[in-house]
Amino acid sequence: MGAAAVQTSRIRLGTGVLIPSNRIAPVAASALASLNALAPGRIDFGISTGFTARRTMGLRPVKLEDMAEYIRIVQRLLAGETLEWTFEGQRRKIRFLSPELDVVNLRDPIPLHISALGPRSRALTARLRASWICATGNMSAAKNSVAEMQKAWYAAGVDPAACVATAFTGGSVLRDGEAFDSPRARAQVGPHATVALHNHVEIEQFGNMGRSVPPQLSHLAERYQQIYEKYEPADARYLTNHRGHLMVLRPEEHEVCTAELIRTLTFTATVPELRERLRELRRAGYNHFAVSIRHGHPEMLEEWAGVFEGV
């Protein structure tokens, strides 16, 4: 992000998303403030309780109340306050020591964005008057989620129109006549489509992160369960389950990454179809859209830019 900050002048840069357990609050505040010095007013603070960032270590999500406290610490530090913080069983006062040197920027605000997929996290998002990130791939689920988020904002006395609602997804821009499971499409969007399968096989151990496998794809979930149960070591299958997350398809995943899976769980379609989906998201209440660009496929940036130009 630092490299991007000094090479750009307009785009916004943000954590998408930071996990509280993986970076202590004062260090996160320092990193955000340092970026804010490099790209004043262009930094966003995105946060969540953790999916792969936690499961790759065999851990369940961070507790919601712990995330709320983490947000409080980071935001108060960024506001230039002196506050008490508990660490290693000790409660101590902390603050930025030398903001006057301008190596950190505490002047320009850093907006808060929370990835919230459940009712309690949506309520927290609304209570903090934060913007919202929804990880999705299915239009119906995306519309239901934004409707629930709007209810939470209204219940907290917040006007949804004043908040950023971001649909985050994966997708491939299909060429005319191209199959959903073409080698190109699979490489670009397969790693996003299979996330639902990664979640499915770990629900009992780690809980459901909200990306459920729809009934019509249950046969693929059952097949992936068989694949998953062969991973070693048996007490740490998560190490293989999350290898290549959102970057590449593992060889054994190709058989379950079907055209049906891609069509159902991702934003993969032709340019005209994708433009209409974006318009539909906007009508539903989203005002921002983010698509993950696949490792090794920088051409996706230009392909998606072509989609956005016509919306």
Residue type, 15: T
Q: How far is CA 76 from CA 22, 61, 93, 95, 169, in A?
A: 19, 24, 12, 9, 31
Task: Give pLDDT, residue 13.
Answer: 98
Task: Give pLDDT, residue 211.
Answer: 80
The average pLDDT across 11-31 equals 97
Residue 104 pLDDT exceeds 90: yes
* C-alpha to C-alpha distance for 156 and 162, rounded to whole angstroms: 13
C-alpha dihedral (93, 98, 99, 104), degrees to nearest 10: -100
**Cβ–Cβ under 8 Å, residues 160 and 150:** yes
DSSP state of 10: S
When pLDDT is cut at 50, 70 and 90, the band that residue 210 belongs to is confident
Task: Give pLDDT, residue 40.
Answer: 98
When pLDDT is cut at 50, 70 and 90, the band that residue 305 belongs to is very high
Task: Give pLDDT, residue 100.
Answer: 95
The average pLDDT across 203-223 equals 94
In sequence order, which residues have a C-beta less than 8 Å from that of residue 225 and are 6 or more positions away?
200, 201
When pLDDT is cut at 50, 70 and 90, the band that residue 137 belongs to is confident
Model confidence pLDDT, tens digit, residues 247-300: 999 999 999 999 999 999 999 999 999 999 999 999 999 999 999 999 999 999
Task: Give pLDDT, residue 206.
Answer: 97
SS3 32: helix
When pLDDT is cut at 50, 70 and 90, the band that residue 124 belongs to is very high
The average pLDDT across 3-8 equals 98
Model confidence pLDDT, tens digit, residues 25-34: 999 999 999 9
In sequence order, which residues have a C-beta less than 8 Å from that of residue 102 and are 6 or more positions away?
37
When pLDDT is cut at 50, 70 and 90, the band that residue 10 belongs to is very high
Residues of the chain with pLDDT > 90, as a percent, come to 98
* C-alpha to C-alpha distance for 39 and 14, rounded to whole angstroms: 11
Task: Give pLDDT, residue 72.
Answer: 98
Mean pLDDT, rounded, of the chain: 97
Task: Give pLDDT, residue 134.
Answer: 97
* C-alpha to C-alpha distance for 151 and 238, rounded to whole angstroms: 35
